């Protein structure tokens, strides 16, 4: 019979690590289960300048901020295991989480499995992923040193990552489906001042292609319907396309478990992070919420862990 934890936290991004910290600090037995590296989406973020307490002209990288969060959760007693949960049973008093190699049990589960990049949705995308198409500037920017790069999207991620890419690429063009960015005004101001950054408005990507490596792309003007073929500079022989058009929740494994989700797979909670199942909480980007930021994820995790403690006390 495996140990029954007070709390199992699924996911070690800012929400999960904050939950681990708060649960550990409340002397609850807590296990954080993470399938990849800690940090979730911010582990691939170059600069974070809006987490409270950061010095504005010394922005910190995602991995560096996360390393401190991981250390802090560990210091307060949170255990951590690397594993991929494939099956969950959430409705009983004891929740059971299974992977290919183990079974974990807990009285509370805090779901903090976050979200992942939404695919661009054009023809050829899957074939050219890793061969010119990417969703992570921090991971792949150096492959495009002195090449041309296109960034799809108009939100905070697209504009910030496009600016990061200008440190590597010769020219970066943002392709946005409207004629106005969604990104925060402060981010836009910096972007419009960046001479290496260009904009292709009212445009979507229809198809990407090439001979093994990405070297051509067809884009469509959504107002006129006009199609334009973009071909890599002859000397370059390739270019990059980075997709930053929002995210989709990592919530597939909760389908059919009785956990309520919206039509896109995000989990609704009340202000105290309760889901529809007693003892099951959701925190961070996987929740239905209006602001997906490190600070709101961390706050969700803290609230969820505090409510988990309350739930344990009520069970006694
Ligand atoms: P987002 O804010 O949802 O923006 C997605 C962008 O992609 C929008 O401009 C959208 O166009 C466009 N888009 C969506 N679907 C598309 C499609 N099928 N084809 C073409 N374009 C499409 O996503 P995000 O930028 O990844 O940000 C996610 C969350 O993280 C947001 O809450 C954001 O504020 C936050 N974030 C914050 C920071 C920061 O504070 N520094 C940094 C990164 C992310 P429309 O504008 O036309 O809808």
d(CA 67, CA 303): 21
Q: Which of 160, 247, 149, 237 is closest to 200 using CA atoms?
A: 149
The model's pLDDT over 89-113, given as tens digits with 9 standing for 90+, comes to 999 999 999 999 999 999 999 999 9
State the catalytic residue, choosing from 38, 140, 156, 300.
140
Tokens of 306: 């505090």
Residue whose Cα lies nearest atom 23 of ligand 1: it is: 246
Mean per-residue pLDDT over the chain, rounded: 95
122 is catalytic: no
The model's pLDDT over 124-170, given as tens digits with 9 standing for 90+, comes to 999 999 999 999 998 899 999 999 999 999 999 999 999 999 999 99
218 by Cβ neighbours in 10 Å (0-12 / 13-18 / 19+) ranks as: middle
* Alpha helix segments (H runs only) across the chain: 14-25, 62-75, 125-128, 137-140, 156-165, 185-193, 294-315
Average pLDDT (208-230) is 97
State the catalytic residue, choosing from 139, 233, 236, 270.
139
Angle (CA) 190-138-248 rounded to 5° is 90
The model's pLDDT over 247-257, given as tens digits with 9 standing for 90+, comes to 999 999 999 99
Residue 248 alpha carbon to ligand 1 centre in Å: 11
- Lining ligand 1 with CB less than 6 A are 50, 121, 153-158, 160, 177-178, 182, 204, 244-247, 291-293
136 is catalytic: yes
């Amino acid at each position: 019979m495996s140990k029954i934890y007070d709390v199992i936290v699924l996911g070690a991004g800012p929400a999960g690590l904050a939950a681990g910290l708060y649960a550990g600090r409340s002397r609850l037995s807590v296990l954080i289960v993470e399938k990849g590296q800690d940090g979730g989406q911010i582990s691939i973020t170059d600069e974070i300048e809006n987490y409270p307490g950061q010095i504005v002209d010394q922005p910190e990288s995602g991995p560096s901020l996360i390393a401190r969060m991981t250390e802090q959760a560990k210091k307060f007693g949170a255990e951590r295991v690397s594993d991929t949960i494939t099956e969950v049973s959430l409705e009983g008093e004891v929740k059971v989480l299974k992977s290919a190699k183990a079974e974990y049990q807990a009285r509370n589960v805090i779901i903090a499995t976050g979200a992942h990049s939404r695919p661009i949705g054009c023809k050829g995308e899957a074939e050219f992923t890793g061969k010119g198409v990417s969703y992570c500037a921090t991971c792949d920017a150096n492959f495009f040193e002195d090449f041309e790069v296109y960034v799809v999207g108009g939100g905070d991620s697209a504009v910030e990552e496009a600016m990061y890419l200008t440190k590597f690429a010769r020219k970066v063009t943002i392709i946005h489906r409207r004629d106005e960015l969604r990104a925060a005004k402060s981010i836009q101001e910096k972007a419009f001042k960046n001479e290496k950054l260009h904009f292709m408005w009212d445009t979507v990507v229809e198809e990407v292609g090439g001979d093994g490596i990405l070297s051509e792309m067809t884009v469509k003007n959504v107002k006129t319907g006009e199609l334009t073929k973009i071909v890599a500079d002859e000397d370059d022989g390739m270019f990059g396309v980075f997709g930053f058009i929002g995210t989709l929740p990592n919530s597939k494994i909760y389908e059919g478990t009785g956990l309520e989700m919206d039509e896109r797979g995000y989990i609704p909670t009340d202000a105290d992070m309760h889901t529809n199942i007693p003892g099951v909480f959701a925190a961070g980007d996987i929740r239905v919420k209006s602001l997906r930021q490190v600070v709101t994820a961390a706050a969700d995790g803290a609230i969820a862990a505090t409510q988990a403690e309350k739930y344990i006390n009520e069970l006694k």
